[in-house]
């Protein structure tokens, strides 16, 4: 079972996702420049929504960080362990897993771990405290060049692995299985040094692209120094330029129900709540880029969910190879929704819609003409209920 989500969402002037030049991200699609919001940006907004809005309990959420040593050390200190020794013990435990720790006590790369996993990691370190204390090696002198540092890091990894007993190393490795962390199960994890602990994402998220051609616009701004005296020059206290655009986006994501169940240890209740949270967050969460400047808080004008019992997922981005444009009494949002509907009907006329079990849609803007087979509902709540009902029917069959 796969759940696809297609959305049309219009934003007023904004800079939701910036590139290395501090301008809104963009791309060429259909031969013209489009506004773009990266999938990474969209996923982070969804993960933040999970946590900030409390739609999932903390025990079902993960953190992506290089500061695992610091966080686990804090937990050990709370149990009465000395901070310096606790830090060394945590580093030894991570070394047993083949995860290098830099001189600043940060891991080599970002780790995506559940809150429960961090608690259990600290508990296991405390349980095997004496063993890990004996595994703490002497401090290594800092290497002078990059090649030497790499050799030193490899030696440290090997030494740490050899120092910790195999059964303890295996127990530590089990803590990295992801547990019941919904966001980790959705978006997956890749650990270069521990490929066996990689988690295949249950959800794929496309880069959002504008349904139409966009042009970069620039805002020249000034700020006045409130305490500047009348005898001074009348110029601004500071000035600068911000890039922005206004765009109507097509957004697409697909969720694999079976993979989600697998990632969550076949816990159907947590998986079901994860799907509900994902659907709601996808509709409501907005990237945070430059929001204090633009306050671009918009809801999707159209949402379509398609449930597939079988068959391959299908992005409808090619509906906009011909850029949408307002014409007659149709605004840009209506024109975008109509192009989406026309393309869906055309593509399913050719390839069929086998395996589709439900396709509820809702929004403030609906297709001007029918013929898609989409099932209009009034609210986001009803759309979510429709999708969950399909999952329940699949579980019962």
* Amino acid 171: pLDDT: 81
Residue 123 included in any domain = yes
Shared domain for 208 and 294, answered yes or no, is yes
Shared domain for 260 and 330, answered yes or no, is yes
pTM for the whole thing?
Answer: 0.86
Strands 26-29 and 302-308: unpaired
Residue 192 included in any domain = no
Query: How many domains are there within the chain?
Result: 2
* Amino acid 14: pLDDT: 94
Shared domain for 51 and 103, answered yes or no, is no
SS3 190: coil
**Four-residue CA torsion sign, 251, 256, 260, 266:** positive
Shared domain for 86 and 208, answered yes or no, is no
Shared domain for 140 and 251, answered yes or no, is no
Which of 38-42, 85-89, 111-115 shows the lowest per-residue confidence on average (mean pLDDT)? 111-115
* Amino acid 216: pLDDT: 87
Residue 193 included in any domain = no
H helix intervals, 140-223: 146-163, 166-174, 182-187
Shared domain for 218 and 254, answered yes or no, is yes
Shared domain for 257 and 390, answered yes or no, is yes
Shared domain for 24 and 81, answered yes or no, is no
Range 205-231 average pLDDT: 88
Shared domain for 128 and 19, answered yes or no, is no
In sequence order, the β-bridge partners of residue 38 are: none
Quick one: angle between helices 83-96 and 166-174, nearest 10?
90
* Amino acid 313: pLDDT: 92
Shared domain for 140 and 213, answered yes or no, is no
Residue 122 included in any domain = yes
Please report which confidence band the pLDDT of residue 226 belongs to, taking 50, 70 and 90 as the band edges: confident
State how far the Cα of 318 lies from the Cα of 347, in Å rounded to an integer: 10
Shared domain for 102 and 36, answered yes or no, is no
Task: Report the mean per-residue pLDDT for the chain.
Answer: 88
Residue 148 included in any domain = yes
Range 105-124 average pLDDT: 84
What are the CB-based long-range contacts (under 8 Å, 24+) for 327-334? 330/368, 332/10, 332/211, 332/212, 332/248, 333/8, 333/10, 333/248, 333/301, 333/302, 333/365, 334/365, 334/368
Shared domain for 173 and 203, answered yes or no, is no
Choose one of 180, 212, 234: the last residue of a domain.
180
The 10s digit of each residue's pLDDT in 53-80 is 888 888 888 888 889 899 999 999 999 9
* Amino acid 159: pLDDT: 59
Domain extent at residue 355 = 2-56+199-225+243-396
Residue 348 included in any domain = yes
Residue 321 above 80 pLDDT? yes
* Amino acid 113: pLDDT: 81
């Amino acid at each position: 079972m796969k759940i696809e989500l297609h959305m049309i969402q219009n934003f007023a002037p904004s800079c939701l996702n910036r590139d290395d030049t501090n301008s809104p991200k963009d791309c060429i699609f259909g031969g013209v420049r489009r506004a773009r919001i990266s999938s990474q940006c969209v996923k982070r907004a969804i993960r933040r929504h999970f946590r900030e809005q409390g739609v999932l309990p903390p025990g079902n959420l993960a953190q992506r960080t290089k500061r695992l040593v610091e966080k686990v050390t804090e937990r050990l200190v709370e149990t009465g362990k000395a901070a310096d020794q606790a830090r060394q013990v945590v580093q030894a435990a991570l070394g047993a897993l083949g995860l290098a720790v830099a001189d600043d006590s940060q891991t080599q790369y970002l780790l995506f771990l559940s809150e429960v996993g961090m608690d259990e990691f600290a508990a296991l370190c405390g349980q095997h405290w004496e063993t890990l204390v004996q595994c703490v090696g002497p401090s290594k002198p800092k290497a002078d060049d990059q090649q030497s540092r790499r050799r030193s890091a490899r030696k440290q990894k090997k030494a740490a692995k050899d120092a910790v007993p195999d059964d303890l190393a295996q127990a530590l490795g089990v803590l990295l299985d992801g547990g019941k962390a919904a966001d980790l199960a959705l978006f997956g994890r890749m650990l270069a040094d521990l490929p066996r602990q990689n988690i295949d994402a249950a959800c794929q998220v496309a880069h959002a692209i504008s349904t139409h051609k966009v042009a970069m616009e620039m805002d020249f701004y000034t700020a006045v120094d409130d305490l500047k005296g009348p005898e001074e020059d009348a110029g601004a206290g500071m000035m600068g330029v911000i890039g922005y655009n206004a765009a109507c986006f097509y957004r697409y994501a697909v969720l694999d129900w079976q993979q989600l169940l697998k990632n969550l240890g076949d816990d159907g209740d947590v998986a079901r709540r994860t799907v509900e949270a994902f659907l709601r967050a996808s509709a409501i969460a907005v990237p945070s880029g430059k929001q204090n400047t633009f306050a671009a808080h918009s809801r999707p004008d159209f949402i379509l969910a398609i449930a597939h019992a079988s068959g391959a997922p299908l992005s409808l981005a090619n509906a906009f190879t011909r850029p949408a444009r307002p014409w007659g009494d149709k605004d840009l949002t209506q024109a975008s929704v109509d192009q989406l509907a026309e393309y869906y009907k055309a593509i399913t006329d050719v390839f069929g819609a086998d395996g589709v079990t439900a396709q509820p849609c809702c929004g403030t803007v609906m297709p001007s003409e029918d013929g898609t087979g989409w099932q209009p509902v009034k609210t986001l709540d009803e759309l979510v209920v429709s999708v969950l009902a399909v999952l329940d029917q699949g579980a019962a069959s």
